[in-house]
C-alpha cells in the first residue's frame, strides 16, 4: 500500500511538474533586512521602504515573480525574536507572492540539532507577519546540510507548518542525507521522492557572475528552473574597507542586472512562478 501511495504521488507530482514551465526564485542568508526594519521602524511607513524588501517588491510588481526568502533565525547578535511586528499588515497582504523559509538557526555548517531552531523560526515569522500563510514549505537549508533525524523533525508530518520539499545543491556536492544512489538519481532527473519528501535540484545561482550567461542558456528552457542568490550580495553592508565595499556594490549591481535579464526572458511566456513543485 505504501509503495502504491508513493507511485500515485509521483505520478501526480510529475503531471503537475510537466504541465507548464515552473520558475522558483529564492534568496538565501536572509536576516539583515529584519534588523534594518527594526532599527528604522519609526522611519519606514511600510516594510517595503526597507531597501532589500523594496527590491523584492520591485521584482514582483514588474515581473509578477514569487519570492522565497530563506532566513537565519539569528546572526551576529540579532535574532528574529527582536524584530519589530509593526509591519504585520504589509507582510500579511503579500503572502500570495512572498514566503519566508527556514535556512538555519545560525550560520554554522551542519543542521543536525533537534528541530528547536525551526520551531522558534516558525513562531517568530508568524508573529512578524501575522499569519502562517507566509511560511514556506519548500526550503533550502544552509550548506545543503541536515541529517535524517533533523529533517524528519522539521517535516510537515512531525511539526506544525513543517517542510514538504527540499532544494538541493546546484553542483555534484552532497545534499542533506541522500545516499550515492539517491544522489545519482537526483542529478539525472533533477527530482527525487524519498521519505515522503520531494527533493529538487537547484539549477544555478546568480552569484556566479562570470558564468551567468552559460548557466542561463543551459537551463532556460527546462520544465523547472530553480535559481537563487544571497541577501548579503544584493544589499552589501557598509565596510571599513571602502574599496571592498564598492567592489561588493558593483557586484550587487551586476547580479541585479542578471536577475532582471532572467525575468525579462520569461515575460509573456507560458510559465508559472512557484513556491512548491
Could you tell me the three cell numbers for 233? 550580495
In a domain, 116, yes or no: yes
Question: Going residue by residue through the chain (277 aa), what tens digit of pLDDT does each one get?
Answer: 445 444 444 544 444 444 589 999 999 999 999 999 999 999 999 999 999 999 999 999 999 999 999 999 999 999 999 999 999 999 999 999 999 999 999 998 766 666 779 999 999 999 999 999 999 999 999 999 999 999 999 999 999 899 999 999 999 889 999 999 999 999 999 999 999 999 999 999 999 999 999 999 999 999 999 999 999 999 988 777 888 889 999 999 999 999 999 999 999 898 999 999 9
Domains held by the chain: number: 1
- The answer as to whether 4 is a domain residue is no
For 5, 43, 190, 236, the CA distances from 36, given in Å and listed in that order, are 46, 11, 37, 13
In a domain, 7, yes or no: no
Domain assignment present for 246: yes
The CATH number of residue 70's host domain is 3.20.20
- Does residue 146 form part of some domain? yes
Distances (CA, A) of 206 to 103, 141, 201, 255: 18, 18, 15, 6
Q: Give the structural domain span for 155.
A: 22-273
Classify residue 8: in a domain, yes or no: no
Inside any domain, residue 15: no
Amino acid at each position: 500500500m505504501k509503495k502504491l501511495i508513493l507511485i500515485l504521488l509521483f505520478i501526480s507530482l510529475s503531471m503537475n511538474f510537466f504541465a507548464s514551465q515552473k520558475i522558483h526564485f529564492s534568496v538565501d542568508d536572509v536576516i539583515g533586512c529584519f534588523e534594518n526594519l527594526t532599527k528604522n521602524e519609526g522611519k519606514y511607513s511600510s516594510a517595503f521602504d526597507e531597501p532589500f524588501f523594496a527590491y523584492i517588491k520591485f521584482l514582483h510588481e514588474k515581473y509578477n515573480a514569487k519570492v522565497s526568502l530563506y532566513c537565519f533565525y539569528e546572526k551576529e547578535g540579532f535574532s528574529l525574536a527582536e524584530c519589530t511586528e509593526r509591519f504585520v499588515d504589509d507582510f500579511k497582504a503579500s503572502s500570495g507572492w512572498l514566503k519566508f523559509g527556514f535556512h538555519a538557526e545560525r550560520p554554522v555548517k551542519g543542521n543536525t540539532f533537534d528541530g528547536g531552531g525551526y520551531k522558534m523560526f516558525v513562531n517568530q515569522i508568524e508573529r512578524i507577519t501575522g499569519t502562517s500563510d507566509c511560511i514556506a514549505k519548500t526550503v533550502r537549508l544552509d550548506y545543503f546540510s541536515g541529517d535524517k533525524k533533523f529533517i524528519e523533525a522539521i517535516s510537515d508530518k512531525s511539526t506544525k507548518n513543517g517542510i514538504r520539499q527540499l532544494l538541493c545543491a546546484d553542483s555534484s556536492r552532497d545534499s542533506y542525507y541522500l545516499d550515492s544512489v539517491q544522489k545519482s538519481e537526483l542529478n539525472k532527473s533533477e527530482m527525487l521522492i524519498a521519505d515522503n519528501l520531494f527533493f529538487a535540484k537547484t539549477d544555478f545561482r546568480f552569484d556566479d557572475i562570470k558564468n551567468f550567461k552559460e548557466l542561463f542558456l543551459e537551463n532556460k528552457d527546462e520544465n523547472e528552473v530553480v535559481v537563487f542568490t544571497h541577501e548579503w550580495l544584493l544589499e552589501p553592508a557598509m565596510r571599513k574597507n571602502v574599496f571592498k565595499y564598492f567592489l561588493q556594490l558593483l557586484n550587487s549591481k551586476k547580479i541585479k542586472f542578471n536577475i532582471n535579464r532572467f525575468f525579462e526572458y520569461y515575460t509573456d511566456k507560458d510559465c508559472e512562478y512557484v513556491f512548491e513543485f
